[in-house]
Amino acid sequence: MRRAVMDEFYDPAALRVLSKRALSRLITRLETAGQEATVAGYLDSLLGLDGGHVLGLTGPPGVGKSTLTRALIHRIRERGQRVAVLAIDPSSRVTGGALLGDRTRLQTDPDDADVFVRSMAAGRRLGGLSEHALAVVTLLRAAFDVVILESVGTGQSEGEVATACDTLCLCMQPGAGDSLQFMKAGIMELPQVIAVTKADLGPAARRTAADINGALSLSKRASTERDPAKTWTVPVVEISSTEGTGLDMLLQSLEGHRHHLQVVEGVGRLRAAQQELWLEEMIRQRFGSFGLEKMAVPAAPDQPVGLSGKDVFQRFLAFSREFEAGISPCES
């Protein structure tokens, strides 16, 4: 049975050499047939793989996320790594100010089979993730060395994006330091790396970086008090995607965090905890708060890896079926 599923959906080695067209078709299949047991089983089989480094890029509209993504793609390809981008489409957004309409469209070499770009609609909230986004991240992670998840940050959606990536990079632009005090408490605790974009525009970038460092030291104190195991110090990197400055430093910081995850915090542990949150989020997306009330989520973070999170897509499917059949789901 498992073999047949893998044949139909490609095993991980085959995924890495799949054509863009075949990969696109497979993603469409995930988006439209998420309720099939074979699809859920397939996705769960991919969860067990280490896979690539999932990098979240978030930040306000127009901050320079797409321009940065394009620059990162270039550098990642230069190292011979395969890279995929999942862009959460902000086109339906209601805000965006002066920069609306000044968005960078990601164009990549159609002949380079090792770069793959896909955009997808947001979930419940602007910039948030749909239940399909989690399935697509799972697939892309198995097929690429680096997966970039680009999504506009609205002060609400960053938390959702954080649950889908290994390393979250928050982008802020010069002058944004002034608005730090207005940022929702807790947001500064989400990213593992902060990029101050458009550093070519002048000394304001340095001031902004200093303001951010100040805000970070306050939030770091609060978070280490809560959880002494959190030892990562968030680097603040000034970059210019258009001039190419600071990008190597940024990549080093992103990879430094990945290394930290691997040797200190544990990637498996992080992902297992995240997958419990995915289950909750998928249920919320499809069944709203009523669905959540019916759900009994096992306490995730303290469970040994391997017991929790491994079969989240099949658990979601089982929940959906029971919920739709009107049977109150029992715990498990």
Nearer to Mg ion, 65 or 198 (CB): 65
One-letter amino acid of 147: V
- What does the per-residue mask of binding to Mg ion show for 48-87, with x meaning CB under 5 A? -----------------xx---------------------
Of the chain, the end-to-end C-alpha distance in Å amounts to 24
Q: What is residue 103's DSSP assignment?
A: P
Question: Which residue type sits at 222?
Answer: A
Is 208 or 275 the residue whose CB approaches ligand GTP more closely? 208
- How near is the Cβ of 184 to Mg ion at its closest, in Å? 21
Nearest CA to 169 out of 58, 85, 54 is that of: 58
Task: Choose which of 58, 192, 197, 285 interacts with ligand GTP (CB under 6 A).
Answer: 197
Could you give the CA distance from residue 59 to residue 152 in angstroms, rounded to a whole number? 5
Structure tokens at 24: 């696109």
Instruction: Kindly state the smallest distance separating residue 86's Cβ from ligand GTP, in Å.
Output: 13
Alpha carbons within 13 angstroms on the beta-carbon side of residue 122 total 21
**Helix, strand or coil, per DSSP, at residue 117:** strand
Give CA–CA dist 50/72, Å, rounded.
22
State how far the Cα of 332 lies from the Cα of 330, in Å rounded to an integer. Answer: 7
Please select the residue that binds ligand GTP; options are 37, 113, 201, 307, rule is CB under 6 A: 201
Among 90, 159, 177, 246, binds ligand GTP (CB under 6 A): 90
Please identify, among the stretches 63-71, 109-117, 182-190, 319-327, the one whose residues bind ligand GTP according to the rule CB under 6 A. 63-71
Do the beta carbons of residue 158 and residue 102 sit within 8 Å? no
119 scored as a contact of ligand GTP (CB under 6 A): no
89 near ligand GTP (CB under 6 A): no
Contacts to ligand GTP from residues 124-183, by CB under 6 A: 152
Nearer CB in complex with ligand GTP: 103/294: 103
Q: Which does 102 bind (CB under 5 to 8 A by kind): ligand GTP, Mg ion, none?
A: ligand GTP
Residue among 242, 262, 303, 314 that touches ligand GTP (CB under 6 A): 242
The yes or no reply on residue 64 touching ligand GTP (CB under 6 A) is yes
d(CA 101, CA 118): 20
Cβ 58 vs Cβ 151: under 8 Å: yes
Positions in the binding site for ligand GTP (CB under 6 A): 61-67, 90, 99, 102-104, 152, 197-198, 200-201, 240-242
